[in-house]
Each structure stands twice: as structure tokens, then as C-alpha cells.
Chain A
């Protein structure tokens, strides 16, 4: 191990970047410590080495860093997180330093925050149903243990409320284990973060939570490290300590903006809307850190949250995220305006892993069919609603009207629920049948006749009883 050399050869500071010259043996991605003239310590990492120059990304930004007087030390290792089981219940800043009043972590080990890619051959396919108690997730966009399912939201929409409700209610049927929560805040407000923390406190989840906080007024570039810190903690808890971890990352939009800032400062050729061309790869290096491993007990289920700029789903941040994650839950402003919580846009939302997480022995055998039918009927209702807006009610055929009514009922009874309402999967599935039973059997093409015979009569009766009473 060579001695750590110190350099005072900073030649340029621009935005979040710093150029150090006449360096030797500097490594790509190496952690850098910068001592300002006043003694303050800052951190950064090496973005590029070229001959005797090192380009350094400054986590805390360039403020106060000058070309003269700053001492730069290359620490001979990457950015690391010290871990031990004592991280549970603790709060850290965006660079993994404790910010609650607790003691320093006595590390069992230090882990490089970039992790290493999981071998697809070692993965186990996620298939255990997680009941969140929210119908439009459990019934329509079923979440499974080890999945990465983001929430695409917009500013002012209740994504935090939903994430908190999921964290509070999530459980795997037939097991007593509760989830450990790893929470990474990136650029969100103090108020928003308090909302999460106070709920974790109330429910006692805080004891099984690890929090990494980079708030709106914290250094923006630090955010690039924050989700990696959090996922390193999550991997440690899941794959070394056998826990089931729910990782909530919010807000990925702030994260991507920090990435863009660095890219712009490097004068890279920008991709769409100024975001770097490698953003897909970069985001994948975060989102792919979810899943299960063959013959290991733990799991990481990821719920990243992002706010879509201008509610635009084709914006690069939601777009690239959707290309990597295993589905998405999209929140809709019109639904929110209608007073529907959770304001989920059901047709555009999707859980790709649901198919192996539902059905007999997991949820119920009629799940897949009823879910297809609900979608079918709801989208037909939405089409009828659109027609009505253009042509007026008179233009609607009898069938249109029927689906129109179905869509209304579906939104009001199925999607809408209270933030403290915890519906069992049985309740959710029955609710689906109840709504479908209002349609003629000939319209229920997507349901196997066996299930129609078994389930439908029960709900048909209920319906007629209601009508006569």
C-alpha cells in the first residue's frame, strides 16, 4: 500500500468539476478528498484520467473550491459505505454519513457503492405475491417480491402518500416477516421527507428502516451517490442478512438532473433534452439492483418514484425508466382532480411480473382472467366516455352506455379507496366480480367459462338483490 499523495495542482474548477494536474497513479472512479484552505473537507470521485490529469466530480459542488490552496488527496479506493446490522433504524446523509444523533457505524465491512452486476444465472425469478392492500396494485398491477416497480407521478400528486401506504401495508401472504425499508431521498423537500419519516415512526417501521437523505437544499451532485448508498445497504441487508427489503427511491427526477449537470459541465454531446446519452445505462445500474438470488433468503423490491416533467410520459426520465423497470404505476392528474385516491391511470400502468405472481396458490385462480376482463371493460368505458365528450350522450349506443357506467363505477369503487384502507386480495377480486356482474355474460369473453360458472352466479344474485331492495 503506497502512501497517499497530496496535490495542490488544481488547475480548473467549473460547475461540479475540478481538474487536477501532474498527478500520478490516479485511478478511474477513485474517491477524492479535498481539503479547502479553511480546513473543510470535501469529497469527489475521478471521472476521467488522461495522462497526468484527473477530472474530478465534486459531490458538494464547486462553491468555495479554489485553484490555489486546495489540497487534493486520492484515497486509493472507490466510494464506499460502511455497513453492519446497526445501520437499521439510522439516518444518513446522501453520502452515507450519520446525521441522526447516533454513534458512528462500527463497520462489519466497507462496500463499494457501485456494487457488482448480478449474474443473470444466479437470479431467481420473482414470483411471490406482495399484498399491498391497494386494489389497483394488487388486482391490476400486482407487485411481487424482488420486482422494481416505479411510480410515475407529477408535481403535486400524492405519490408519497401511496408509497407510504405501500410501505405500511405490504406483506407476503402466509408469512410473518415484515419488510425492512431502505429509503433514499434525493432532492425532495424537508416537509416531504418528514412525511415519510413520521409515518415510519408511527408504525414502528423506523426500527427496520435505513434512511439516506439528500434534501432539496443539499448538494445536488451528492445525489448521484445517494441511491447507490441506499442500494448497497439494501443488498447487504437482503443478501447477507436474509431480509426482505423494500427500497423507496424518491425523486429520481432530481437524480437525473444532477446527472445532466455533470454531463453538461463535461461538454458531452447531449442526448434527448440535454440528458446524457448514457442515462439508460446509468439508470439501469440503479434499477437492476433489485431482485432475488437463487438459494438466498432475502430480496430487494424497488419502488422508485419520479415526477414526470410536465406530466409527459415520453420525457427521457420516465421513458428510460420504463424501459428498465418491470412495469410502472402511473398517476393521473385528471383522476386526482376527480378526487380519486390513488389517482392511478390503470390502462397505462403495468406490472410485468404479475403473470407469475398471480393465480391459484398465489392469489386466486380467477385472477388473470378477471383482470384481463376488467381492463377490457374499463378501456371500452373510457372510449365511450371520450365519445360522449365529443358527440354527446345521444350518440352512445346501449353497449357504449353500459361500459360508460362500468368505467364510472370502476373508478369510484375499485380504484378509489382510503389511504388507510387495507383490502385483502379476496376483497379486491370479489370487488372486480361485483363490477363485472353488471355486464352481460357475452361481454365476458376473456374469462374462462369454468370461472364464470363458479363465481358469477354469486355476484349476479347480489346485484339483483341490491336492485330490488
Chain B
């Protein structure tokens, strides 16, 4: 491979000449410091390179060498519990080399080479295997059974398969293919910008239960679905993403901190090992992979980080797991595209973003989905993708928001006004939507009966009515409302404050099982129905506003999961206090 020479350095963009033979998206090594870069434009022998590390100190004439390979990640045992930078360098390994700060030119592999994994073969000599077939398993953490699969491009007959303790680099299987015998170890390398194949895409048919009431009840996301959380700064995007990472009933979590705060990643790093998975009781970190390219780390690696994340997520999806990927924030990813595009002097589109912004965003979310995975056992996997969006000034006409809304199916709209009044999660119950509610109907009916859907729709109607009534109240005051409408306002308030409002930092309130959600909403609606009857039989609205049981309903959300029986008592109190005789 020819060595090129730098002719231009402008921020994260380096241009090199003499790059004959190099290909688009090849990874290159820049200067004697061997900084990592990627070719993003080629004109004859002149390559434009985005460099994933700080370019200060680079100058004209320094060497550039192509590796001939596209930007790839290493997939295999050792991913779980890791924290990586945007191009899959483990931050703990970087710390071991360069101390508290991230120096340049550090080369560390994505998967640890030292550790030996206990490989248990599932296939045997003589088996004919193809892409995605499971060769064996490694219990990677107490929560994750890591399947060692045949890579997507290999097919043949097993001529030897080992069993026992191996590092990821040691060969464990020999497969006779058309092009001769191939030896495989536990590492698959995969180019991050390329979608990993599936056999067949399926529509999501079960919700990803998050334990967050406003999401599960009103705006659910299907397993294998896509969602976005746009909102101004401080409206709660990161807290929602963290909450999902903690409590969502996914097997695997991939969390991408893209161009955001260092402390937020530290928070996850310190907190997750301490938190228990509500289903297994194991530390949450054991099912989590973190990608951290914080705002002070090089901007080009920010662009790569979401791809690194989703490739890792796809890999676990391929094993038949339900994977959830969180990206916070996709705006920073889009901005890094904009910055590089600007330096390439491409024709800018809206707000200076490149014209291909929409395509890139769509391609990214297309990598999510529920699918029949490759492999002969037809296992089903799901990859749910949730992206935060940070529009300037919270303005939803922002190109990143608009491009995202065109492709995702769930919109959790965060509102500054709600955040100011500390109504969290500040998800607007009027403006948000989920396009999965229909797909998930059967699931709800099967698991909770018809009543859940009815109750949810009624709650939603009441919130809508409240909004209309608010208009009237603003014009003429609350006293002008009929008692029935006063009651609607009151119930809506209860839905908002006692159900939708959820404190992520409260020990109990932080997670609510579906059963408990159902029961709380049931209490609220039950009181509403009884109150309607009371009004009909001539009771005054003022009396109804003062019922003691309202306080019990307000505190229902703080009831620990194992004490849900106490809700029966509240229910009988409702009945007793709304006696119409």
C-alpha cells in the first residue's frame, strides 16, 4: 500500500495526496503518531480524511497510510460491561496506558486478549453450518449467554470443534468451505457502517416495558421499534434514556453517549454496577455496553460512535436477544456530520446540515427492528432504538428533529413548561404519540384483557378534554364550569400528578411494573366513575373535591411492588366515601 502525504490540516479534516489504491471509508493512520482516521472523500489520489483524534501538531508532508480496511468493530465475548470510546477503544485500557486524560495514538483492541472464556460447543464435527448458526456458547456474564455464531459470510462443514477455555484469539473451530478450510476464533470483525443481515423483518408485537408510566401506558414502544425524545436542554432526555437503560425489559442494553457530558457517563459507570435488574436481581452493568464519546472528545469519533453502538446491538440481536440501544444525543452526531461536511466544502442544505442528513438518519433507524435472525433455528431477535434529539432552542422545526420524525414511530415530546414546573418525565401527553398502539393491541388484550385498553383510552380522552376546558377557564374562570366538567378537570389533574408524574430519583417511584400501573390508573378511573354517579345523584362537586381517599390515591405510586394488596383497601375506601345512598 502506498504511503500518502498530508497536504492540508483543518481541524478534524486532513487531506492527503499520493493515496493511490485507497478506498472510500478505509481506515488510515495519520502521521508518525499513527492517529486513526477514515477516508470520507476520494478524488484521484487525493483523500479527505476525518481524523478520530485531535489533530493539533499535524503538518504538511507527514505520512498517511491506509490499512485497506473499513472502520470495523470487534464482536465477541468481552463486550458486556465495557465502556468504549467512539471507535471501540476500551476507556479503561486507555486509562491504563495514558492516565486520567485521553492521549493520542493509543492502540488497544476492543476485546480483551488475556481473558479465557469457557466455550461450550453446541455444534459438532460433521455438521453443515451456514451464516448465523450457533457454534457454541460462552457464559459472558451472569446475565448474558454469549452465542458464538458462524459469521454472515461463511458456510460449510465443521471438521473440528473444540471445547474448553480459550481467549478470543484462539481458534475454536475449523470449517471446510468452498474456498478451503477456514479456522475461526471467537472474534467477528464487522464494518460499522454496514447493516448486519437478518433473514426476515417482522413487525413489533410486544411492548418494551420500561417501568415508566407515561411511556408504558400512553406511548409504548414495541420491542424492535424506534422512538425519539426531542426536547430543549434540561427537559429530561438523558434521565429518560438512563431510566430505559436501567429498567427496560431488554436482554441487552447498548448506551451511546454521543457528544454529551462526561459526568453523565461516569454516573452510569458508577451507578449501574450497584443497581439490580428488577427481574434477575443481578447488577445492571452485566447486560450493558457503554459507548462514550463525550463532547470534549474528538468530533469525528462522535460521528462514528452511533455506528459502533448499533453494530454491537445488531450482533446481540443476531443471537436472538431483545436489545435496546439508546443514543444521547443524535443531534451531536448530526452536528459532527455538519462540521465535517462544512470543511469538505460540500453544498449545505437546511441550517448548514449536509443534504444527506435525512438519509443518514433514516438508515440508522432502519437498522432497528424485530427480525428472524440468520441461522437455521429461525430465532427471533429485536433491536429497539431510542434517540434523543437536542434541537436549538427546543425548536421542533429543526432539521434533525424533522428528519427523525419522518422515520421513527414513537415521539416523546418533552416540554420546557412541564420541566419548569418539575413535572417529570416532561413528556407532553397531548403532543406525543406512539404508532405501535395498534400493533400491540393483541398483546394487551391477551395479557391484561380488554379493560386496559379501554381505561387507557378514557384516561387519554379526559386529558384531551382538560386541555379544551383549560381554554375556557383561561377566559372566564373555573367557576363557570359545570360540575361534570369540574370533575373532569379534577380527574385529569389526578392522572397527571398521581399517575403520569414519576420521580426517577425516588427509590420506589423510579420503576413501576405494568401490574402496578394498571392498578393505579384503575383507582383513579374508579374514583372518577363513582364521582360521576355521585354528581348524578345530587352530591356537590365541592364535597367530591375534598375526599380523603384522594390523598391515598396520590400516594399509591410510592407503594412498594410487594405491597400492591393494599390497593384493595384504597378501592374500598373509594367506594365507602362515594356512597350515594
**What's the nearest-Cβ distance from chain A to residue B209, in Å?**
24
Of the candidates A126, A280, A387, the one whose C-beta lies within 8 Å of that of B335 is: A280
Give the contacts of B47-95 with A (CB-CB under 8 A): 54-61, 83, 91-92, 94-95
Binary interface profile of A, 353-380, with partner B (CB < 8 Å = 1, else 0)? 1011000000000001000100110011
Contact A119 B95 (CB under 8 A): yes
Of the candidates A114, A281, A326, the one whose C-beta lies within 8 Å of that of B339 is: A281
**Residues on the A chain within 8 Å of B558, using CB:** 448
**What's the nearest-Cβ distance from chain A to residue B548, in Å?**
9
**Residues on the A chain within 8 Å of B292, using CB:** 120
Docked complex Cα distance between A146 and B497 (Å): 34
Contact A119 B102 (CB under 8 A): yes
Nearest A residue (CB) for B299: A281
**Residues on the A chain within 8 Å of B479, using CB:** 395, 397
- Is A426 positioned at the interface, with any CB of B under 8 Å from its CB? no
**Residues on the B chain within 8 Å of A27, using CB:** 9, 56-59
- Is B294 positioned at the interface, with any CB of A under 8 Å from its CB? yes
Nearest B residue (CB) for A79: B56
Contact B266 A120 (CB under 8 A): yes
Nearest B residue (CB) for A368: B505
**Residues on the B chain within 8 Å of A375, using CB:** 421-422
**Residues on the A chain within 8 Å of B543, using CB:** none
Given contacts A50-B10, A116-B101, A119-B100, is CB(A277)–CB(B335) below 8 Å? Answer: yes
**What's the nearest-Cβ distance from chain A to residue B476, in Å?**
8
Nearest first, the 5 closest Cβ-Cβ pairs linking A and B are A314-B393, A284-B295, A395-B477, A29-B56, A288-B296
Between-chain CB contacts (< 8 Å), 26 pairs: A25-B60, A25-B61, A27-B59, A28-B57, A28-B58, A29-B56, A49-B59, A114-B56, A116-B54, A116-B102, A118-B101, A119-B95, A119-B98, A121-B266, A123-B262, A125-B266, A146-B263, A268-B342, A271-B352, A277-B342, A280-B335, A284-B296, A291-B263, A293-B100, A390-B474, A391-B475
Task: List 6 extra interface pairs beyond A271-B352, A284-B294, CB under 8 A.
Answer: A25-B59, A27-B58, A119-B102, A121-B91, A356-B267, A368-B505
Binds A, one of B168-176, B451-459, B549-557: B549-557
Q: How large is the interface on B (under 10, 10 to 19, 20 to 34, 35 or more residues)?
A: 35 or more
Contact A372 B263 (CB under 8 A): no
Contact A49 B299 (CB under 8 A): no
- Is B390 positioned at the interface, with any CB of A under 8 Å from its CB? yes
Contact A278 B339 (CB under 8 A): yes
Give the contacts of A131-161 with B (CB-CB under 8 A): 146
- Is A70 positioned at the interface, with any CB of B under 8 Å from its CB? no
Of the candidates A112, A121, A124, the one whose C-beta lies within 8 Å of that of B94 is: A121
Docked complex Cα distance between A70 and B217 (Å): 71
Docked complex Cα distance between A92 and B236 (Å): 40
**Residues on the B chain within 8 Å of A119, using CB:** 91, 94-95, 98, 100-102
Binary interface profile of B, 464-507, with partner A (CB < 8 Å = 1, else 0)? 00000000001111110000000000000000011000010100
Residue tally, chain A, CB below 8 Å to B: 82
Nearest B residue (CB) for A295: B100
Contact B497 A445 (CB under 8 A): yes
- Is A347 positioned at the interface, with any CB of B under 8 Å from its CB? yes
**Residues on the B chain within 8 Å of A126, using CB:** 263
Contact B420 A117 (CB under 8 A): no
- Is B270 positioned at the interface, with any CB of A under 8 Å from its CB? yes
- Is B571 positioned at the interface, with any CB of A under 8 Å from its CB? no
**What's the nearest-Cβ distance from chain A to residue B294, in Å?**
6
Given contacts A117-B296, A122-B100, A289-B296, is CB(A314)–CB(B394) below 8 Å? Answer: yes
Binds B, one of A179-187, A316-324, A417-425: A316-324
Docked complex Cα distance between A394 and B577 (Å): 32
- Is A407 positioned at the interface, with any CB of B under 8 Å from its CB? no
**Residues on the A chain within 8 Å of B83, using CB:** 120-121
Contact B7 A51 (CB under 8 A): yes
**Residues on the B chain within 8 Å of A288, using CB:** 261-262, 294-296
Contact A125 B342 (CB under 8 A): no
**What's the nearest-Cβ distance from chain B to residue A467, in Å?**
23
